[in-house]
Amino acid sequence: MEIRNSLEGLKSLLGVNGSTPTVPQTNTSAAPSGGTFSADSATLSNAASEVAQTAGDDGVRADKVALIQAALASGTYSVPASAVASNLIGAMLGE
């Protein structure tokens, strides 16, 4: 299994394609000659929005996640090949 630690890896995980919109940067450290300050702004990409939405999901079963993490760490986690094949074929058939 390959684990990526980059924005491109996150985009591929979330299925986001294309570039993210960028906001031109302005220098707000000094006041303009009119005496008013310009407002700072930020734009989130679609990937960041999707991550933020799923972060608060209550559908995660933390107890089951902890059990699987422990089994993976100890090397005892195994999935029967027949179960993988059955689920793969079911997903391909739209079941």
Domain containing residue 1: 1-18+41-59
Domains in the chain, number? 2
Provide mean pLDDT across the span 77-88.
Answer: 93
In a domain, 35, yes or no: no
Read off the tokens for 2.
Answer: 């390959």
Cβ–Cβ under 8 Å, residues 37 and 28: yes
Average the pLDDT over 6-14 and give the result.
70
Residues 52 and 92 in one domain: no
pTM over cut 0.85: no
Q: Give a yes or no: residue 31 inside a domain.
A: no
Query: What pLDDT is attached to residue 5?
Result: 62
pLDDT digits (tens, 9 = 90+) for 29-69: 555 555 667 788 877 778 777 777 766 666 778 889 899 99
- The four Cα atoms 75, 81, 82, 85 give a dihedral, to 10 degrees, of 120
The pLDDT of residue 33: 57
> What pLDDT shows up at residue 60?
77
| Alpha carbons 27 and 22: distance in angstroms, whole number | 16
